[in-house]
Structure 1
Amino acid sequence: MSSVEKVRGRYPQWVAERLPSDAWTEDSGVAFPLYRMAGSCLNFPRLLQLGLDGLEAELADTPFKFVADHLRDTIDSYIGSVSEEMVKTLLAIRNKPPRHFREAIQLFWLYALHSGTWNYGRLDVALGSFLKADLDKGVLNREEALELVCGLWRLMHSYDNMYDNRLIVGGRGRPDEAAADEFALLAIEATRKVRLNQPQLSLRFYDGQNSELWERAIDAIGEGCTFPMLYNDEVNIPAVQKAFGVSADLAEQYTPYGCGEYVLNHYSEGSPNGVINLLKALEITLHSGRDPNNGRQVVEDVPSAADYQDFDALWQSYCRVVEYHVAVLAHQQKLEYDVMAEEAPLAFISALTSDCVQQKKSAFGGGARFLGGCLETYGYTNAADSLHVLQELVFNQKRYTLPQLVEAMDANYEGFSEIQAACRQVSKYGNDEGMADSMARKVHEHICNEASKQAVKVGLSSYLVVVINNWANTVLGWKTCASADGRKSGQPMANANNPSPGSDLNGVTAFLNSLVKLDPSLHAGAVQNMKFSKEWFGEMRPKFEALIKTYFLHGGAQAMITVVSRDDMEAAMREPEKWGHLMVRVGGFSIRFVDLPRPGQLEVLARTLN
């Protein structure tokens, strides 16, 4: 019996009834489980401090005691088949802690491969001291060190997972900032040199940090690298402290992974094991709890469209449909953890996760200091815009009845062009407009707070929303009918918490002002995708830096920036063989534009270019 079958076999009846057995890419539904363990970020500095002999001694009385020997076996298997220089490196790390940068990189990478993790945490903390010592002593020059990092980047790229392969540099909470900055600067330079879509380099920054990190980051972004992604510690540390319920010192160890979720570097687990489509939840609400795609009754006792006398009643029904699904996804998350704890100790992950060694328990079996969960949310912006349209056209202006709007949506607006035009004319999130942005906050706060309530109920340290995208907005859009924001059936939904394509009409300042209205202390990560033309990074660069710094000063938590022109993307669609170098951000990950399926290309092309 597979692990998935074991999880589903433990479903209480109420859980089995609410979760489809089909994959989320195939079924038309509101909520879907994801069967995986993801997002572990390990204590690599501890590994490099101890070396394999030290690690073996530390693990002697734990279920993970075989880890060091297993790594030695791997090292031994390479000797005789690699270069003389590589043999020296492998022999140097077979027992003792690494002494040099080259040795530290090698031990880190061997361990990462064995652990199965695709996310590497604060790598400047792990490797910075080795790099600085070698540079200071003349063991390496900067060009040699850069080539080593470029080689590591190529290895990460070959370990192909475009949704992960995250590593973090910069930020508060690094013991030796000067040494860490040496690696961080080299990491940015390597990203500029190799031009790959992996690893996903992320720069944390704060007031007073080495300004050269920021300058080199903007250089790289302006050249079209899409990396590093920018994370604002001044906002994120207090937000993480509140959301996770931890001290400021622990919050300083927040680490983005995957498509943009946060964990506490080697202190917490927070696998994203559920998906909810908020626009589909509204669709179900407007059809008396029934899925119009397949006729299945999803939620009982939901009023018909004709029964709502005011917007508050409609809002309460929408909330009930969302809550119905959030509760089941939280329960599903804990069941997955329980099965994983029984199935496997995940020894390589647990050995470098606090406090598994002290507890002598696996990361998902009571060993990790904090065991949380994540809920991926999609369709959030479209749900908010649609609710705002319904509030305005039906309940405030009384221009149409709710059944009339539902009829128009069910017809995919065919024969209802006047209604669709009216829906599109209502103000939307992303324009710094009070009512639309207020509805976005209302939808955001509801799903975040409802998810957070589930942690105590199911026995997790936290259960937090993540507002990300891995082009799921496009895939889930295929199964979502026409919506009140004017979107037609099957079209992509908005990316993460960004405005819907074409709906932000008041310019980049208004767009950024809307983004900062959503409280970052309620979730475990949100994607802020931004697309700028190349001109912003030439003579207009001072204006760009003033704009983005003001955004961060006013509460912006994060930015994932693509620098590209519409002409370039259209040319790449016509002649893909000539545009293999063109990189774009899809959501929480980057990809060569020509490698995107055509629906994904069209969705990226439709986003506003500032």
Structure 2
Amino acid sequence: MFKTDLEKLHNALEFTRIYKENSGDINLREARCLDFQLEHILVPLDENDRIAGRYEHDFVGFSSQVGGYSALGAGYTYYFNDFEFTLAMRACNDRLTNDEKCALQSVEMFWREENTARKLDVAFANRYGHILPKGYQGPGAANCDCRVAGTNVDFEKLIQLGLDGLDREIGEMVAQNGASTFYDALKIWIESLRKACARYREQALALAEQAADAKAKQNFLDLADALEAIRHNPPKTFLEGVQLMWIYSVSSDLMNYGRMDDYLGQLYADDIDAGRITEEDAVEIVLGLYKHFKEINKIHDCRVIIGGVGRQHPEAADRLAIVIMEASRRFRETVPQLTLRYYSGMSDAVFQKAMEVNAEGTTFPIIYSDETNVPAVEKVYGVSREEAEQYVPFGCGEYVLVGRSVGTPNNGVNALKALEMTLHNGVDKYQNVRCGVETGALSTFDTFEKLYDAVLGQLKPFIEKLAVHKYLNYKVAGENAPYLHLSLLLDDCIARGKAVFEGGVRYLNASSEMFGIISCADSLTAIKKLVYDEKRFTLEELVHMLDCNFEGFEAERKLCLDAPKYGNDDDTADDIATRLFADLADLTTAAGKAAGLDHYNIVSVNNSMSAEWGNFCEASACGRRRGSAMANANGASIGADKSGITALLNSMSKFDNTKHVGVINNVRFTKELFTGSMDKVGAVLKAFYDNGGVQTNLCVIGRDDLENAMAHPENYQNLLVRIGGFSARFVTLNPVVQREIIERTTYGA
């Protein structure tokens, strides 16, 4: 901890005073609150820093998604961390005056009502009379949260213009559109960033004086010079560029860092070509940035993108991409989520480096196919090819357009739970709670199509409510704050003179995370084959078996397990999987339009909820037992892909990619196969990317290593695994998640 509880309590008093005094104008209120906040959440440099910028949030503050996780909700706009605030009040009781105690009690009462997450709950409850569950343990087929996540701002613009250039752009728009407190607030925000640079510059100079060796002294002097330069001017060196990007990000709670090889590549190439730095110097600078990523440790975000079409500086960017991958190879951590965008004709050296780094078990870079995704994004978002080329995945794999759109996920839909509820006429059987629509008794499903339609009917109300919640998430945020850090670097906020959620951003998009699609589809395939086509047993008999968790019905369970499964290039199973996927996508898109969003699309990703939410689902007709993990994202059901890697990839490539904005495909190889046949593996992957494959998460590790790590965690502290949309140290995971990972298929020689 960098600050004492007493300091944080005093900061809460002052932040609240500033908030109240400026309540008449949300633009100036945010600017002045942020100016105070930035002075107090940015903590000092330490002797190991190469880049300036570390934070520790207070109990009250402003944040897109991070600062305020608590019983009252996520860090969302103006947050209040009630739990930590209460603990601090108790711990500091003897050091607070009576007046301070009274004032802090007033702060607590004020923020319990005023925090923005509560306002969102109130807005939703006013429409529906209730709020939605906020965790996977709640009953029903959906959950939600509140935040503004994943936005990728225009760092290229920041690097090209610098802070003074952004100031001038605002001045030009004032001349064109007229003065406004929105423009005034943006200028205050820029000045707050300048002051942060100045504070860190003084700290760097002080540390240079204290440095134990010449290299450390020079590093801090260089850092001080960079911080002084970027207070006003566009960066002219690689160090200055990294520092400007990071001071903006850490000051803004940004968790995704866009196409880093592109917006920093030319600065790197110029430094190398002029002899100002070596490649090793650049790796050390990147590792200095990675150090801060790890301190924040936002494993579900922290995306760094390299490669891909549509870069402004492709040759320089490729040179930097090699450096960034080398830094990840050495760092060997769960962050950043390094992501390579593949395209036909890309640099062989870049792709080869990506394979080599993955071969060492880093789980990075994740590889996305521009051959598939650019034309798909162009169609799904209805944008130009040029704009589609600026798609980037963030978080667990959702897409946004750099500098042009927002697209926070914030909710989950469980397709397998919807099937369970359909088979019990709207009752969540595991929780024994009626929370869905009454889709009818089992006897009414005399055809497969009626059952299938009932599953969609079970999901439709959840999907529609989540779309409204998503719209209200933006609406309430916009009513309370202009989100200056986003508005400054998102088109077309400055040009329109409007904040991001008040009509400023070009595309108001959102996404909905889908779980259990494959498990649901495999279950429907089994039901169609065994109940409707072959009439091995009735639907009533099957549901009884499921309610008994297949106990006493092992032969029938084997029939379910032996039914066709997605992941084997079997059209019988794959057709139902792709049909269900497309129908859920269409329901979601329609719900988003009705709610007022520009685009609202599904993603099939995994943030460990495939295992965790599966823990609260009854047995299913795919042969899965009660509480077992669901299939991970667009991967096969556990152990169901039995026909080889090519068959799995063929199944994964059959989905309509204009129906989604992100899917996750996990593929695990033994180290022996991956390293011994790297060229062949690379050729298979390239064929997948060129023929409809969206992406791959590559995990190079054997099942035996995972089993040993579960039994002897002390010997495997550095073992990294890919969960789905993020990576983790295996030994830190919930045993339920560990077992799900172990049971996935490993492809070997």
TM-score, L = length of structure 1: 0.97
Counterparts of 1:210-609 in structure 2, within 5 Å, are 210-609=347-746
Counterparts of 1:127-146 in structure 2, within 5 Å, are 127-146=264-283
- For 2:369 and 2:450, the matched residues in 1 are separated by 39
Instruction: Give the match's secondary structure for 1:120.
Output: coil
Q: Select the structure of larger CA radius of gyration.
A: 2
- For 2:554 and 2:272, the matched residues in 1 are separated by 67
- For 2:489 and 2:538, the matched residues in 1 are separated by 59
1:52 to partner: Cα distance: 1.6
- The question of whether the paired residues in 1 share the 8 Å contact of 2:425 and 2:438 is answered with yes
Instruction: Give the match's secondary structure for 1:121.
Output: coil
Q: Which moved more, 1:464-473 or 1:450-459?
A: 450-459
* Per-residue CA distance 1:409-430 (angstroms, 9 max, x = gap): 1111122222212211111111
- The question of whether the paired residues in 1 share the 8 Å contact of 2:507 and 2:598 is answered with yes
Provide runs of 4+ in structure 1 moved above 6 Å: none
Matched, 1:4 2:117: yes
- The question of whether the paired residues in 2 share the 8 Å contact of 1:165 and 1:199 is answered with yes
Taking structure 1 as reference, are residues 300 and 196 closer, same or farther at Cα in structure 2, changes over 3 Å only? closer
Q: Which residue of structure 1 aligns with residue 179 of structure 2?
A: none
1:66 to 188, 202, 225: 188
Q: Which residue of structure 1 aligns with residue 157 of structure 2?
A: 46
- For 1:317 and 1:16, the matched residues in 2 are separated by 25
- For 1:585 and 1:159, the matched residues in 2 are separated by 19
- The question of whether the paired residues in 1 share the 8 Å contact of 2:487 and 2:494 is answered with yes
| Percentage identity across paired residues of the two chains | 38
1:37 to 148, 161, 181: 148
* Per-residue CA distance 1:57-110 (angstroms, 9 max, x = gap): 223541422121101111222233223332222111111111111111111100
1:144 to partner: Cα distance: 0.9
Higher relative contact order (CA 8 A, sep 6+): 1
Instruction: Give the match's secondary structure for 1:524.
Output: strand
Q: Which residue of structure 2 aligns with residue 190 of structure 1?
A: 327
- For 1:547 and 1:49, the matched residues in 2 are separated by 39
- For 1:8 and 1:526, the matched residues in 2 are separated by 29
Instruction: Give the match's secondary structure for 2:461.
Output: helix
- For 1:261 and 1:320, the matched residues in 2 are separated by 26
Equivalent position amino acid for 1:189 in 2: E
1:222 to partner: Cα distance: 0.9
- The question of whether the paired residues in 1 share the 8 Å contact of 2:355 and 2:678 is answered with no
1:270 to partner: Cα distance: 0.4
| Structure 2: segments with no counterpart, 5+ residues | 1-112, 175-182, 209-220
1:24 to 120, 130, 135: 135
| Alignment size in residue pairs | 608
- For 2:649 and 2:611, the matched residues in 1 are separated by 23
Instruction: Give the match's secondary structure for 2:662.
Output: coil
- The question of whether the paired residues in 2 share the 8 Å contact of 1:346 and 1:363 is answered with yes
1:475 to partner: Cα distance: 1.2
Task: State the superposition RMSD in angstroms.
Answer: 1.4
Q: Which moved more, 1:97-106 or 1:593-602?
A: 593-602
Q: Which moved more, 1:366-375 or 1:290-299?
A: 290-299
- For 1:607 and 1:197, the matched residues in 2 are separated by 20
1:455 to partner: Cα distance: 2.7
- The question of whether the paired residues in 1 share the 8 Å contact of 2:566 and 2:641 is answered with yes
Matched, 1:76 2:187: no
1:538 to partner: Cα distance: 2.8
Taking structure 1 as reference, are residues 15 and 418 closer, same or farther at Cα in structure 2, changes over 3 Å only? farther
Taking structure 1 as reference, are residues 276 and 15 closer, same or farther at Cα in structure 2, changes over 3 Å only? farther
Equivalent position amino acid for 2:494 in 1: V
Q: Which residue of structure 1 aligns with residue 22 of structure 2?
A: none
Instruction: Give the match's secondary structure for 2:510.
Output: strand
1:13 to partner: Cα distance: 6.3
- For 2:440 and 2:454, the matched residues in 1 are separated by 8
1:528 to partner: Cα distance: 0.7
- For 1:457 and 1:194, the matched residues in 2 are separated by 46
- For 2:674 and 2:560, the matched residues in 1 are separated by 36
* Per-residue CA distance 1:231-260 (angstroms, 9 max, x = gap): 111111001111111111110000010010
- For 2:684 and 2:740, the matched residues in 1 are separated by 25
- The question of whether the paired residues in 1 share the 8 Å contact of 2:426 and 2:439 is answered with yes
- For 1:277 and 1:15, the matched residues in 2 are separated by 21
- For 1:300 and 1:477, the matched residues in 2 are separated by 21
Q: Which moved more, 1:568-577 or 1:33-42?
A: 568-577
- The question of whether the paired residues in 1 share the 8 Å contact of 2:322 and 2:350 is answered with yes
Instruction: Give the match's secondary structure for 2:277.
Output: coil
* Per-residue CA distance 1:560-586 (angstroms, 9 max, x = gap): 100001122122222222222211100
Q: Which moved more, 1:4-13 or 1:26-35?
A: 4-13
- For 1:417 and 1:373, the matched residues in 2 are separated by 43
- The question of whether the paired residues in 1 share the 8 Å contact of 2:612 and 2:737 is answered with no
1:303 to partner: Cα distance: 1.2
Instruction: Give the match's secondary structure for 2:427.
Output: coil
1:12 to partner: Cα distance: 5.9
1:522 to partner: Cα distance: 0.7
Taking structure 1 as reference, are residues 300 and 574 closer, same or farther at Cα in structure 2, changes over 3 Å only? closer
- For 1:282 and 1:422, the matched residues in 2 are separated by 19
Equivalent position amino acid for 1:69 in 2: E
Equivalent position amino acid for 1:204 in 2: R
Taking structure 1 as reference, are residues 154 and 510 closer, same or farther at Cα in structure 2, changes over 3 Å only? same
Equivalent position amino acid for 2:719 in 1: L
Instruction: Give the match's secondary structure for 2:428.
Output: coil
* Per-residue CA distance 1:477-524 (angstroms, 9 max, x = gap): 111111111111111111001101111111111111111111111100
1:183 to partner: Cα distance: 1.2
1:223 to partner: Cα distance: 1.2
Taking structure 1 as reference, are residues 300 and 224 closer, same or farther at Cα in structure 2, changes over 3 Å only? closer
Matched, 1:15 2:146: no
- For 1:418 and 1:536, the matched residues in 2 are separated by 36
- The question of whether the paired residues in 1 share the 8 Å contact of 2:369 and 2:690 is answered with no
Equivalent position amino acid for 1:428 in 2: K
Equivalent position amino acid for 2:170 in 1: L
- For 1:72 and 1:477, the matched residues in 2 are separated by 48
